[in-house]
Structure 1
């Protein structure tokens, strides 16, 4: 377990700084004192997911999805938000959506685009887990909630303190969108099975990077993290349905 956690820590350190480097090239940050907090929160959150995965292997060996890791991550994020009570939920966009009826068509188009982007790589994935009830329940609940709360909630809030930006459009390619999208896509596509090997899936990196930009656009359009959470879970379930056909 110690070796696994050490590998996870090294992987996440590399991922974090790979995502952060383009931000420095893109724009000079203004408040570098907030960077250590962002690094610590990110590493703790990712390590908790690895710890949860290892504990689940011992306690619930029949489960295949990382329920324990995601629940530990969710608990940590909620505790973090409660500790920093002076930072209102509105700062993290945990508020009802402000989506006008006229924007419904745009949202549906974004969902359709996300399904297309995410389904194509997964059409080449083999595995009976796509037909399991556990996977459907898992993908319909935890990933969207936990990942959106982490990446486009807490991480985004912290990177905006580090490198403020003022996007004029949903798809404005600002440093915060660049960092969060890179961090999200690298976390899903880059891994180190051991410290001497690197596994990188460029196709999955591209699809998750584009989808991360779509989720950010949804957040900016609705000014609510709830919309990306719901859409994220819908996309995950859509992937399962398409992959099981």
Structure 2
């Protein structure tokens, strides 16, 4: 029950944010705002299912590998159901402004390493590094930098990519991403860890900008993965 309430609270928060974005970008409608909030709440719930139903933890391990696979499966279902085109999602390798795109990866590494040096007590084990190098960057970027912006902007039924950088949508989805990291509900109590949400939100603003500037999701996915690995490596053996 706590998991369902937590996901519902998160979806409600996303709806408030999406409706605020609506006021800044006329391409966003009440319907697309509600659809985005519903999708993100459902993604949150689906990602946590292996913790609720042991049979769904089919990959095992200390990290939530199975939850991320379920998130990816939901993403595929939403893409098919809404007929989101690869172009609208940024599913392409070719980069606009390629020099900027590839140079930005160094910035992601520096950002992750800086935070790791401050907050990470010690170097991670191999499973942690493998998980951080793959699952969060892939699953979360598809959700928050691919599907959520596309749905907010109404890019359904095979509509193409927008031609501009929609800052209101980028900031709104980045705020949703930060809230997702910060908000939780347990035993009748709501908890909100500001610092847990602040740094992911800042990083996702950069990722969101790059996703529209380059017209590709590749750099945000790689940047997210590299930043996560750098964070866990930067602490070093002794912390």
Runs of 4+ in 1 over 6 A off after TM superposition: none
Q: Distance in 1 between matches of 2:28 and 2:207?
A: 26
- The one of 146, 171, 174 equivalent to 2:139 is 146
Aligned with 1:192: secondary structure?
strand
- The one of 85, 88, 91 equivalent to 1:91 is 88
Kindly state the Cα deviation for residue 63 of structure 1 after the two structures are TM-superposed: 1.8
Question: Where in structure 1 are there 5+ consecutive unaligned residues?
Answer: none
Deviation sequence 1:210-240 (CA, Å, 0-9, x none) = 2111101221222111221112111111111
Query: Is the 8 Å Cα contact of residues 43 and 74 (structure 2) preserved in structure 1?
Result: yes
- The one of 132, 141, 145 equivalent to 2:125 is 132
Q: Which residue of 2 aligns with 1:223?
A: 215
Q: Distance in 1 between matches of 2:182 and 2:170?
A: 18
Length-normalised TM-score, structure 2: 0.82
RMSD of aligned C-alpha atoms?
3.0
Shift in CA distance, 113/23, structure 1 to aligned 2, threshold 3 Å: same
Q: Distance in 1 between matches of 2:56 and 2:121?
A: 23
Question: Where in structure 2 are there 5+ consecutive unaligned residues?
Answer: 156-160
Query: Is the 8 Å Cα contact of residues 193 and 199 (structure 1) preserved in structure 2?
Result: no
Q: Distance in 1 between matches of 2:103 and 2:175?
A: 23
1:115 matched to 2:109 = yes
Length-normalised TM-score, structure 1: 0.80
Q: Distance in 1 between matches of 2:194 and 2:62?
A: 22
Shift in CA distance, 55/137, structure 1 to aligned 2, threshold 3 Å: farther
Number of matched residues? 232
Q: Which residue of 2 aligns with 1:232?
A: 224
